[in-house]
A = this chain, B = another copy of it.
């Protein structure tokens, strides 16, 4: 939907502005998505000082004649390399704390952009997120099953740097970052493991699950040991070249879940039987759901529209939109 009718209902411009992409949503007073834009204008792809131009190119038409339309943004746009740094707030982090940490930048086209801060878990093993906190608050909205989990809700965000967050009483208590996606790429493209692989357009579910099971059942020696089996299973004729990428993907995701399960075990819980939610692209979440099932975890729905719902929810909490927030 585009045009005059759409803009008349518009209540918020919401931006998911990350490292490699900018996704923009025009939202109505009830949080409904009226229009969307996507561009490759992630913060790493911009020339110095290029934020204003990228913002205007993407959202200028929505704001034309309505420069007072509130704008909210989350993600790396608030990092030290972003448009304006929004210093991290520390865990435990709830929505009011995120609202308090918002920084404002005045765009050249007259709009005021409200940038949501990221979250820092301080300590000897610090962790940081930017953008995921907003998705997490979007996922929580109205999910009764999740909020009633006795040990708090567990939310996974697969990706280049996968996050697993423990949320309790509306607060992000703590979280882990697994460099699963990026490590997969580095191993495939820059080690001997890639040399015997052949790319495969089709997802090989059997090879993937075999990798997951190897990490789960024989992963005690650790990832540095198990990954070599990608090569040796090939050398011994047990894994075809086109199966090796999905096997390695399964191995790495399996090690991530093995590690997550180890964290849970130390809290007298396990992945088996747990209720959790995933946020991310459908194909990747589907891989995680298949992998989680091998760990006995079957209640693993993927949350749709977590980003835009989270941005709307934080904007509502900040008083940027006056209509009732959409909660389901």
Residues of A within 8 A of B (CB): 120, 122, 124-128, 161, 176-180, 182-183, 185-187, 189-193, 214, 218, 220-229, 232-233, 235-236, 238, 252, 255-256, 258-260, 262-263, 266
Contact = CB atoms under 8 A, between A and B. Distances in A.
Interface centre among A177, A225, A235 (most CB of B within 10 A): A225
A225 B186 contact: no
Q: Determine how many copies of this chain the complex contains.
A: 2
B262 A221 contact: yes
Determine the main DSSP class of A at the interface with B.
helix
8 contacts: A125-B226, A176-B225, A221-B260, A221-B262, A222-B222, A223-B224, A224-B259, A225-B256
Contacts of A227: 179, 183
Given A120-B236, A221-B263, 14 more contacts: A125-B229, A126-B232, A177-B232, A178-B225, A179-B227, A182-B192, A183-B187, A185-B190, A220-B259, A221-B259, A222-B255, A222-B256, A222-B259, A223-B224
Nearest to A210: B124
B186 A182 contact: no
A232 B186 contact: no
